């Protein structure tokens, strides 16, 4: 440094000496003094540049110039604070919105699995031509599953335990793990009884994942044997919240469904479950499933090859090819399913006629039975197979995004633990070709991702467009400024500044803008992400199973976007500025420079094009937002068929603490009586699940008169006494269930049903579809004779007809539905209250504690909250897209405003002349407005054209509104025109007030 | 200054100024103006050097320690900076000269079939 300083200090003197010597030489040669000096200077060249070049040799010059540029840039920005503020704010909003949404996408979609070397983990997936002939299938929604009745090419990722043991022993993988949800567990032994979520895992699970214990130890294979003492590993977060993070917990005993478990350790903090979005409180060894009371028929599952309930993950051995491992596993799978004692798949030989299915004598199709989601208890057994289609449930209460999936193939919620049993399937003469593929666990384990992905991508598109608008906006601003600064640039070039130097100066300025915008944007992103997360969290009782926050990768993404933006929009105008033709720019007044000459005209129209683009893009976002908001409105204004106000609902499951059969019904009846005596409760009832919870049960039966091999179906909900009165579902004819109806239903669900049909109450849709004009009351259907699959079933008899009501979710059409008297199983209570339902909650808890202190309530909420949660995704998307739509609108109009303001100030002299020549202020106003309104109209037209083309991609998220809904389009266009008019009006007024004298004197 | 016609002047090739400066200093320490004069004179005033560009070149060479600088008194008794070739600079000059010869020879061989001669 000091050497550099010394060298440079003397440079001036050196140069002066040099020129003096040269002058002297010239004089010696006989030149006049003046001329000699000139010649010497000419010969020497540009002194400033020589100095600069010399300084550059000492290399800090680059930094020095950067510093100068920044200094100068800051000064320029301070000189035009309006421009700077608008540009920085615009960028910050664009970048902030993108970063916030990208943070969410990163957390939900991209983050790698929370385990060691996730790339080595593979998930086993089976596929075949036809559904397997199995009697149990359970999935917790870890991967997409398709097992609809009669579905072609079904697939899934649940396997039997024998297959898992075979794969584990085959030594294909360096480690193999299997897991399944344990469903809801009733925990006692740590304060008041609570309900927690558990996962059953094989002994090798944690070793396969490469996880370590935060305290104590994790499972080893010895824990996963029938003779081992029951042990449990806690989730770190759950340990913190429920046990205060105390290390003494290790060795402590808790009771799960009345079975004592010893806590042996706490898992790593980062691990809340292998599947994205999953959050289990506790992990238990697979072998302990049978020890607990058996709401999901775990008994005998371990040795049963036709009960598929385990998700299997393998860790590839280093250097093993996936194809080789896949061939081995697929071979094991085919061997077991095709050549086992009972073939589960069809190997390809011709078969006889279809056999009648269980409970649906003539129904040839695959029969499903899924547990009612919130209850977790088996549906009434014995002949009639009520079928619960795997509908995503929010029974756990912590799933914010409930995607009302198409009936049949949705990702079942992890707590829902739906179980399917199938009778003999329709036989085919084609081989089923069952096979297993190994997919990377990272992409195969989709979990909650599938539910989050659609809205997130829509939002990402919206914020992407906003970033484009922001860039166009800033580009327009910089263009206008570059035009205004043409004279300055010409002066700099004329004074000998290198063109590269000028370009660099301008680039520095625009990059500076984007860096400032980026920094502010990070702040916005932080707020935005927090706002979204707190909105999401407000919807659930437990924290989101995704870690979120603005992390380093996202920060890098933001910085890249902001810099790229700066360079992109900085570069075009800078090249133009540096190419300024000096003479005309210097000669003409600053104000008139841009409008004269080709360059001005050309760039002026590019400014217009930018504004049109912004308006068009804003229209696209607004139309999308409008459609989503209308979808939400439509869903909100649906007539659900019952009165959802002032209803408190909560789940309770006495079967988890050992109540059985008639005890359960007696318990409910007792509780119902006590609850309805609480002051403020008008009436109380219960059903197997609450209405509009996402859960759904379907019964398949034979309708008299239809072909023997055809089965009919109806949505089914077992309900308690007074259900219709409590929910205000009016009877159209017939009567409600009596005490004897309940007794009959209970005995019909025993192993040997009576001969009397189960009484059912049906809805209007049922009558419409199956009865037409026939008188419904007394109609019997669904009888079946005894056969190989079960005892005879007495079928059902219609005793009442009620008004249509929505069942599982709002979007689903009202299907034919039958209500039957509930017996056994878990239940959800509904209390009709006189005032705010929340206010009676303490009294409710007290009543239940009096009956049994070990029974926790779960999913406590009001029916309105339930609906809100059901609409959570729609609300989130509508709110965010609405916000982004308005943001786009504002940004586009700021762009319009900026362009017009610039135009007005540029044309001040012209306007002055017009007014001096007698133009009225109104005509000047019109002059400016006309340009703005024309741009807005063109932009709106283009935008609507684009929107017509792209909104169909939103179609799957819409309800009761067409993707090209004209009302939305027109409303959006009108809104935009109004805001655009306001944006034009300000500069137009300024133009109108131009004082001709001032304007003309100005130059 | 130059008495030659404009069209006969040749702009210096990139980087060759350094070589010329080193060659000039081989004869002994000189000050800046003298270096410029020497290059002009020796090249028959064909090489067009903007004298100012000498200074960045000198500083570049000093930074690389190929030349050193010392205060001295010039022929007309004025204080001046004298630039002197260092040992390192001498080696560099030999290296660069042979490189240049090779380059010039190669280019000449390529050009010869088409056009004979040309200024060295």
Distance, CA of A781 to CA of A794 (rounded, Å): 9
Q: Which of A21, A43, A50 sits opposite B56 (nearest CB)?
A: A50
Task: Judge whether A87 and A477 are in contact, CB under 8 Å.
Answer: yes
Query: Interface of chain B against chain A, CB under 8 Å?
Result: 1, 32-33, 36-37, 50-53, 55-56, 59-60, 62-63, 78, 80-81
Q: Is the pLDDT of residue A960 over 80?
A: yes
Q: Is the pLDDT of residue A833 over 90?
A: yes
A17 in reach of chain B (CB within 8 A) = yes
Chain B residues inside the 8 Å CB shell of A47: 52
CA distance A63 to chain B (A): 18
- What's the fold here for domain B6-111? Arc Repressor Mutant, subunit A (1.10.10)
Chain A residues inside the 8 Å CB shell of B60: 57
- DSSP state letters, A682-738: EEEEEESS-TTSS---EEEEPPTTS-TT--EEEEEEEE-TTHHHHHT--EEEE----
pLDDT of amino acid A430: 53
Arithmetic mean of pLDDT, A479-497: 75
pLDDT of amino acid B11: 60
Distance, CA of A316 to CA of A301 (rounded, Å): 27
Tokens linked to A973: 């266009």
Domains of chain B, by residue range, sit at: 6-111
Chain A residues inside the 8 Å CB shell of B51: 18, 22, 43-45
Cβ–Cβ below 8 Å for B55 and A11: yes
Distance, CA of A278 to CA of A929 (rounded, Å): 56
A43 in reach of chain B (CB within 8 A) = yes
Distance, CA of A421 to CA of A134 (rounded, Å): 7
Distances (CA, A) of A654 to A192, A377, A458, A659, A856: 15, 10, 43, 5, 9
Arithmetic mean of pLDDT, A334-339: 86
Chain A residues inside the 8 Å CB shell of B50: 43-45
Distance, CA of A973 to CA of A623 (rounded, Å): 9
Arithmetic mean of pLDDT, B4-12: 53
A11 in reach of chain B (CB within 8 A) = yes
Query: What backbone torsions phi and psi does residue A180 show, to the nearest 5 degrees?
Result: -160, 155
For the ranges A72-76, A293-297, A941-945, the one whose mean pLDDT is highest: A941-945
For residue A244, give the 3-state DSSP assignment.
Answer: coil
CA distance A42 to chain B (A): 9
Please give the residue of chain A at the shortest CA–CA distance from B82.
A14
Please give the residue of chain A at the shortest CA–CA distance from B69.
A7
Distance, CA of A206 to CA of A218 (rounded, Å): 7
Could you tell me the pTM of the whole model?
0.70
Task: Judge whether A138 and A308 are in contact, CB under 8 Å.
Answer: yes
Distance, CA of A350 to CA of A428 (rounded, Å): 7
Please give the residue of chain A at the shortest CA–CA distance from B48.
A43
Q: Which of A7, A46, A47 sits opposite B59 (nearest CB)?
A: A7
Chain B residues inside the 8 Å CB shell of A17: 32-33, 78, 80
pLDDT of amino acid A299: 57
Task: Judge whether A103 and A123 are in contact, CB under 8 Å.
Answer: no
Chain A residues inside the 8 Å CB shell of B36: 18
Cβ–Cβ below 8 Å for B81 and A14: yes
Chain B residues inside the 8 Å CB shell of A25: 37
Cβ–Cβ below 8 Å for B51 and A17: no
Q: Which of A22, A45, A57 sits opposite B60 (nearest CB)?
A: A57
Q: Is the pLDDT of residue A573 over 70?
A: no
Residue of A444, A546, A447, A533 whose CA lies nearest to A111: A546
Chain A residues inside the 8 Å CB shell of B9: none
A7 in reach of chain B (CB within 8 A) = yes
Return the ∠ at Cα A739 (arms to A736 and A744), rounded to 5°: 100
Residue of A781, A608, A629 whose CA lies nearest to A710: A781
Distance, CA of A20 to CA of B51 (rounded, Å): 13
Please give the residue of chain A at the shortest CA–CA distance from B54.
A50
Q: Which of A7, A47, A57 sits opposite B52 (nearest CB)?
A: A47
Arithmetic mean of pLDDT, A946-959: 89
Confidence band, pLDDT 50/70/90 cuts, at residue A786: low
Distance, CA of A119 to CA of A900 (rounded, Å): 55
pLDDT one-digit tens code per residue, A638-688 = 889 999 899 999 999 888 777 877 888 889 999 999 999 999 999 999 999
Tokens linked to A368: 């499903």
Please give the residue of chain B at the shortest CA–CA distance from A12.
B55
Confidence band, pLDDT 50/70/90 cuts, at residue A141: confident
Chain A residues inside the 8 Å CB shell of B1: 26, 39, 43
CA distance A509 to chain B (A): 28
CA distance A985 to chain B (A): 57
Q: Is the pLDDT of residue A426 over 70?
A: no
Residue pairs between chains A and B whose CB atoms are closer than 8 Å: 53
CA dihedral A37, A39, A42, A43 (to 10 degrees): -110
pLDDT of amino acid A25: 86
Chain A residues inside the 8 Å CB shell of B41: none
A990 in reach of chain B (CB within 8 A) = no
Chain B residues inside the 8 Å CB shell of A18: 32-33, 36, 51
Cβ–Cβ below 8 Å for A10 and B81: yes
Of A217-231, A710-724, B74-88, the one with minimum mean pLDDT is B74-88
Chain B residues inside the 8 Å CB shell of A11: 55
pLDDT of amino acid A865: 86
Distance, CA of B11 to CA of B9 (rounded, Å): 7
A786 in reach of chain B (CB within 8 A) = no
- DSSP state letters, A44-92: H--HHHHHHHHHHHTSTHHHHHHHHHHHHHHHHHHHSHHHHHHHHHHHH
CA distance A17 to chain B (A): 8
Chain B residues inside the 8 Å CB shell of A21: 33
CA distance A578 to chain B (A): 24
Q: Identify from B1, B41, B80 which residue to disrupt to test chain A contact, counting A C-beta atoms within 10 A and taking the largest count.
A: B1
Please give the residue of chain B at the shortest CA–CA distance from A22.
B33
CA dihedral A459, A462, A464, A466 (to 10 degrees): -130
Distances (CA, A) of B6 to A199, A233, A970, B10: 90, 91, 72, 9
Please give the residue of chain B at the shortest CA–CA distance from A18.
B33
Cβ–Cβ below 8 Å for B53 and A45: yes
CA dihedral A334, A335, A336, A337 (to 10 degrees): 40
Helix A61-79 crosses helix A81-105 at what angle (to 10 degrees)? 110
ipTM score = 0.79
pLDDT one-digit tens code per residue, A18-62 = 888 888 888 988 888 888 888 888 888 888 888 887 877 776 656
Residue of A61, A84, A17, A10 whose CA lies nearest to A498: A61
Please give the residue of chain A at the shortest CA–CA distance from B35.
A18
CA dihedral A936, A937, A938, A939 (to 10 degrees): 50
Q: Which of B32, B59, B62 sits opposite A18 (nearest CB)?
A: B32
Of A556-565, A703-712, A845-854, the one with minimum mean pLDDT is A556-565
pLDDT of amino acid A539: 65
Cβ–Cβ below 8 Å for A17 and B63: no
Confidence band, pLDDT 50/70/90 cuts, at residue A326: very high
Confidence band, pLDDT 50/70/90 cuts, at residue A587: low
pLDDT of amino acid B51: 81
């Amino acid at each position: 440094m000091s050497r550099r300083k010394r060298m440079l200090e003397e440079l001036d003197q050196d140069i002066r000496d040099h020129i003096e010597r040269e002058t002297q030489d010239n004089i010696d040669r006989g030149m006049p003094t003046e001329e000699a000096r000139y010649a010497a200077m000419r010969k020497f060249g540009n002194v400033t540049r020589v100095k600069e070049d010399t300084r550059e040799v000492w290399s800090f010059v680059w930094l020095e110039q950067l510093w100068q540029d920044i200094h100068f840039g800051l000064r320029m920005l301070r000189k035009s604070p309006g421009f700077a503020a608008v540009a920085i704010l615009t960028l910050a909003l664009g970048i902030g919105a993108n970063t916030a949404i990208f943070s969410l996408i990163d957390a939900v979609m991209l983050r790698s699995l929370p385990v060691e070397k996730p790339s080595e983990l593979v998930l086993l997936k089976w596929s075949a031509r036809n559904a397997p002939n199995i009697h149990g299938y359970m999935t917790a929604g870890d991967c997409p599953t398709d097992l609809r009745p009669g579905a072609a090419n079904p697939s899934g990722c649940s396997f039997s335990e024998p297959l898992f043991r075979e794969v584990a022993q085959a030594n294909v993988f360096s480690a193999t793990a299997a897991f399944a949800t344990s469903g809801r567990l009733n925990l006692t032994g740590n304060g008041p009884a609570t309900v927690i979520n558990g996962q059953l895992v094989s002994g090798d699970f944690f070793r396969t994942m490469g996880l370590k214990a935060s305290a104590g130890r994790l499972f080893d294979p010895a824990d996963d044997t029938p003779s081992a003492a029951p042990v449990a590993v806690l989730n770190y977060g759950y340990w913190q919240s429920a046990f205060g993070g105390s290390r003494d917990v290790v060795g402590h005993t808790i009771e799960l469904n009345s079975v004592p478990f010893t806590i042996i350790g706490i898992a790593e903090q980062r691990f809340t479950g292998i599947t994205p979005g999953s959050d289990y409180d506790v992990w238990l060894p697979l072998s302990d499933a049978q020890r607990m009371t058996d709401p999901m028929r775990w008994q005998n599952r371990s040795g049963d090859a036709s009960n598929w309930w385990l998700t299997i993950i393998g860790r590839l051995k280093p250097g093993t090819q996936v194809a080789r491992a896949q061939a081995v596993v697929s071979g094991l799978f085919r061997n077991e399913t095709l050549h086992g004692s009972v073939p589960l798949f069809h190997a390809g030989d011709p078969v006889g006629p279809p056999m009648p299915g269980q409970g649906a004598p003539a129904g040839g199709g695959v029969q499903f039975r899924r547990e009612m989601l919130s209850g977790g208890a088996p549906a009434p057994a014995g002949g009639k197979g009520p079928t619960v289609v795997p509908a995503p449930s929010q029974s756990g209460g912590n799933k914010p995004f409930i995607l009302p999936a198409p009936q049949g193939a949705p990702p079942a919620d992890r707590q829902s633990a739906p179980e399917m049993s199938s009778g003999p399937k329709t036989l085919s003469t084609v081989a089923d070709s069952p096979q297993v593929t190994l997919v990377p666990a990272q992409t195969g384990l989709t979990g909650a991702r599938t539910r989050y992905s659609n809205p997130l991508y829509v939002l990402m598109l919206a914020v992407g467009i906003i970033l484009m608008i922001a860039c166009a906006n800033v580009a327009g601003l910089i263009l206008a400024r570059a035009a205004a600064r043409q004279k300055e640039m010409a002066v700099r070039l004329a004074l000998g500044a290198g063109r590269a130097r000028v370009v660099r100066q301008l680039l520095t300025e625009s990059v500076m803008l984007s860096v400032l915008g980026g920094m502010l944007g990070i702040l916005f992103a932080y707020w935005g992400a927090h706002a979204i997360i707190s909105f999401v969290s407000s919807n659930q009782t437990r924290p989101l199973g995704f870690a979120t926050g603005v992390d380093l990768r996202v920060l890098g993404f933001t910085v890249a976007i902001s810099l790229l933006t700066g360079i992109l929009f900085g570069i075009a105008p800078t090249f133009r500025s540096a190419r300024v033709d000096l003479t005309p720019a210097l000669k003409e007044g600053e104000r008139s420079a841009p409008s004269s000459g080709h360059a001005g005209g050309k760039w002026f129209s590019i400014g217009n094009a930018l504004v049109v683009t912004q308006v068009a893009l804003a229209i696209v976002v607004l139309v999308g937002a409008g459609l989503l908001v209308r979808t939400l409105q439509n869903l909100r204004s649906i007539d659900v068929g019952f009165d959802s106000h002032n209803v408190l609902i909560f789940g309770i499951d006495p079967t988890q603490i050992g109540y059985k059969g008639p005890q359960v019904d007696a318990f409910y009846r007792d509780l119902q009586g006590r609850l309805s005596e609480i002051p403020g409760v008008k009436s109380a009832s219960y059903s197997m699940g609450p209405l509009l919870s996402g859960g759904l049960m379907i019964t398949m039966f034979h309708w008299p008169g239809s072909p023997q091999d055809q089965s009919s179906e109806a949505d089914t909900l077992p309900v308690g006494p007074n259900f219709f009165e409590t929910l205000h579902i009016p009877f159209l004819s017939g009567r409600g269930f009596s005490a004897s109806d309940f007794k009959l239903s209970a005995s019909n669900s025993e192993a040997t049903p009576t001969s009397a049909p189960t009484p059912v109450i049906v809805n209007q849709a049922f009558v419409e579809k199956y009865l037409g004009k026939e008188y419904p009351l007394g109609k019997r259907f669904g009888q079946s004779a005894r056969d190989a699959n079960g005892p005879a079933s007495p079928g059902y008899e219609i005793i009442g007809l009620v008004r249509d009501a929505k069942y599982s979710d709002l979007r689903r059409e009202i299907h034919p539905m039958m209500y039957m008297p509930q017996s056994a199983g878990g239940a959800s209570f509904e209390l009709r209250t006189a005032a705010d339902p929340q206010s009676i909650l303490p009294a409710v808890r007290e009543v239940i504690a009096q009956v049994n202190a070990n029974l926790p309530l779960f999913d406590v909420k009001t029916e309105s909250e339930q609906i809100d949660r059901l609409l959570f995704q729609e609300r989130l998307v509508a709110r965010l897209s609405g916000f982004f739509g308005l943001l786009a609108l504002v940004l586009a109009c700021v762009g319009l405003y900026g362009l017009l303001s610039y135009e007005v100030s540029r044309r001040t002299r012209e306007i002055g002349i017009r007014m001096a020549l007698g133009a009225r202020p109104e005509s000047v106003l019109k002059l400016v407005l006309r340009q703005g309104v024309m741009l807005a109209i063109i932009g709106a037209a283009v935008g609507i054209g684009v929107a017509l083309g792209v909104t169909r991609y939103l179609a799957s998220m819409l309800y009761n509104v067409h993707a090209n809904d004209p009302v939305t389009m027109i409303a959006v266009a009108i809104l935009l025109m109004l805001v655009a008019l306001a944006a034009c009006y300000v500069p137009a007024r300024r133009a109108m007030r131009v004082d001709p004298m001032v304007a003309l004197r100005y130059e | 200054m130059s008495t030659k016609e404009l069209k006969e002047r040749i702009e210096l090739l990139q980087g060759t100024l350094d070589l010329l400066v080193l060659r000039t200093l081989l004869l002994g320490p000189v000050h800046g103006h003298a270096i410029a004069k020497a290059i002009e004179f020796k090249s028959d005033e064909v090489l067009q050097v903007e004298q100012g560009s000498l200074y960045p070149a000198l500083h570049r060479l000093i930074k690389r320690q190929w030349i050193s600088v010392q205060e001295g008194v010039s022929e007309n008794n004025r204080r001046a900076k004298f630039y002197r070739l260092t040992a390192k600079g001498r080696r560099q000059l030999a290296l660069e000269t042979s490189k240049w010869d090779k380059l010039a020879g190669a280019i000449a061989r390529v050009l010869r079939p088409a056009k004979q001669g040309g200024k060295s």
